[in-house]
A = this chain, B = another copy of it.
Amino acid sequence: MVETAAREPVPHRRADARREIAAILEAGVRLLGEDPGATMADIAAAAGLSRVTLYGCFPSREALIDAVLDHAVDVADSALRDESFETDPAPEAITRLLRSSWRVLDRHRRLFLAADRALGGERMREHHDRPLRRVRRLIERGREAGDFRTDLPLPWLVTTFFAILSSAAQEVEAGRLKDDEAETVLVQTVRSLLTG
């Protein structure tokens, strides 16, 4: 009995903590997606939690943004899981992957820029490691088929793919690139990059 009484609350506390974290991540994706300057207090309020509870889960704004971005990239990566990327000819597949990636990035543009600001370029790159592995495989396949250039290192082509997408997010946000021309501009830029 004592054992049960002592053990009982643990799963409850765990379940509470899971619910709290889910509420925080949901609020974080939403608020930072509207305003990259959203504060810890804003996010606690939107999640219906106290700031003490929020700080209990995430000790700093940076830690919170790291988790929010991780969550958003996970969701995006699952949405981008499309088998035909693996079977279509590489040039068409990469264009489709680029268009889909841009749409996801554009939807989360402010969150992406807030995270870039809070976490820095190297951590952003780490966060996108999984989706970029798909890009890498596609470029590799295109090179083997003779569709893509082989005069530049493969990791560099993956990096520039990511850099160009990131730049488009920054340019659209700054009003230097129109949202409705970004996709076409990206497709043409990446095509030149990969075919040389």
Residues of A whose CB lies within 8 Å of any CB of B are 113, 116-117, 120-122, 125, 149, 151-153, 155-156, 159-160, 163-164, 166-167, 170-171, 174, 176-177, 181, 185, 188-189, 192-193, 195-196
Contacts and interface: CB of A to CB of B under 8 A. Distances in A.
A145 B163 CA distance: 29
B117 A120 contact: yes
A189 B185 contact: no
Given A155-B171, A160-B189, A163-B166, 7 more contacts: A151-B188, A155-B177, A156-B171, A156-B176, A159-B167, A159-B171, A160-B167
B177 A156 contact: yes
Contacts of A193: 189, 192-193
B120 A153 contact: no
Given A116-B120, A122-B174, A163 B152 contact: no
Contacts of A176: 155-156, 159
A-B residue pairs, 5 tightest by C-beta: A163-B167, A117-B120, A163-B163, A192-B192, A192-B196
Contacts of A149: 192
Given A159-B167, A159-B171, A163-B167, A188 B152 contact: yes
Interface centre among A116, A153, A163 (most CB of B within 10 A): A163
Given A159-B176, A189-B160, A193-B193, A170 B117 contact: no
18 contacts: A113-B121, A116-B120, A122-B170, A125-B174, A152-B185, A152-B188, A155-B177, A156-B171, A156-B177, A156-B185, A156-B189, A159-B177, A160-B164, A160-B189, A163-B166, A188-B196, A192-B193, A192-B195
Contacts of A170: 121-122, 125, 159
Nearest to A119: B117
A52 B153 CA distance: 48
Nearest to A118: B120
